[in-house]
Amino acid sequence: MNNLQLNPILADAIPAMNQQDLQIHSTYDPSIFKVLKGNRNINIPHIDRLAKSIQENGTILQPIVVNENYEIIDGQHRLEAAKICKSIIYYIKVVGYDLKTAITLNINTSNWSTIDYVRSFCKRDYKDYIKLLELHEANKDFSIMICAELCHVKGLNHITLYKQPDRPNGDIIKRGLFLYDYSNDAEYIFEAMRKIKGVIEESQTTLFCRAIKKCLENKNFKLDQFVKKCLTHPTQYRKSNKLNIIIANIEHIYNFNVKNVKTRIYLSEK
């Protein structure tokens, strides 16, 4: 199965090309080209590598692709490298190409990551994505998917699109359907996880953060108390890659040395 089939946002994204579209043009004036709104950010090291290649081997013959408005569909990095080297720029102009086309063409070279999609929607003024990116920028030691999981709105009308109802998958984000929960406790969780990073290595992983979020659904679970127990009894935690076992481990540490059964907390499903 190819990428177009896997990602519905890309289906039928590329309009048919005619013979005129295949004509290669050239220019020394990079100012005629425009940035396509929503396209992913450029990669500076990649531009540097291309510029070095031009300096050592001559002009890049592969043309960039633009639409009728001279917005760059494919070849942002080649254009920036050509600017640095002041070299000739070859290009193909295709009427009707747009952002979906850009995503599709880039899929064939280097896949768009989740953060690329988030930034793309931010550039198109999707407010929920702007808040998500702000959360991630403030907490870069946690992945964009962890941030999304801890701040998404539950009980959405399009819940059937979720692989699992308690968290968003990558396809939801790529479709532009992500909704930001302004009452989320992501920052609270991140702060706590940083405190125990030294004793529980996986405390900043998706699975562990997911387990903590699940535990917080129990009103008797106090995250600060759990952090204290981790720092006091670090050897009581047993590493695992299964959610139910992680939750059981959290319960074990939380109840460690609590002799009164009535004051113990029960987090794992029985």
- On the question of pLDDT at 207 being above 60, the answer is yes
Give the list of residues 6+ apart from residue 261 with CB closer than 8 angstroms, or none: none
| Residue 181, CA distances (Å) to 116, 147, 149, 196 in order | 21, 11, 10, 26
Each domain of the chain, given as residue ranges in start order, spans: 3-107, 114-174, 186-263
Tell me how far apart the alpha carbons of residues 67 and 74 are, in angstroms, rounded to a whole number: 10
At 98 the pLDDT is 83
The per-residue pLDDT for 20 is 58
3 state SS of 241:
coil
How many residues are listed for the chain in this entry? 270
Say whether pLDDT at 176 is over 80: yes
> Which residue from 49, 107, 121 is spatially nearest to 73, judged by alpha carbons?
107
Measured distance CA(5)–CA(1) in Å, rounded: 6
Note the pLDDT tens digit of each residue in 19-60.
555 688 889 999 999 988 888 788 888 888 888 888 877 777
Cα–Cα distance, 209 to 139 (Å, whole number): 13
The pLDDT assigned to 249 comes to: 92
Residue pair 218/249 in contact (Cβ under 8 Å)? The answer is: no
pLDDT grade, residue 262 (50/70/90)? confident
Name the helix (H) or strand (E) containing 73.
Answer: strand 72-74
DSSP 3-state assignment of 119?
helix
Structure tokens belonging to residue 85: 């080297």
User: Which neighbouring-strand residues pair with 167?
Assistant: 164
- Model pTM score: 0.60
**Band of residue 1 on the pLDDT scale cut at 50, 70, 90:** very low
In terms of pLDDT, which residue wins out, 108 or 45? 45
Give the C-alpha distances (Å, rounded to integers) separating 3 from 7, 112, 184, 204.
6, 11, 33, 30
**β pairing state of 72-74 and 64-66:** antiparallel
Place of tokens 């890659």: 241
pLDDT of 227 over the 50 cut: yes
Q: What's residue 123's pLDDT?
A: 85
Kindly tell me if the per-residue pLDDT of 11 is higher than 80. no
Question: Is a pLDDT exceeding 80 seen at residue 2?
Answer: no
The band of 258, judged by pLDDT with boundaries at 50, 70 and 90, is confident
Residue 240 has pLDDT above 80, yes or no: yes
**pLDDT value of position 5:** 34
Helices 206-215 and 144-151, axial angle in degrees (round to 10): 20
CATH fold of 3-107 reads: 3.90.1530
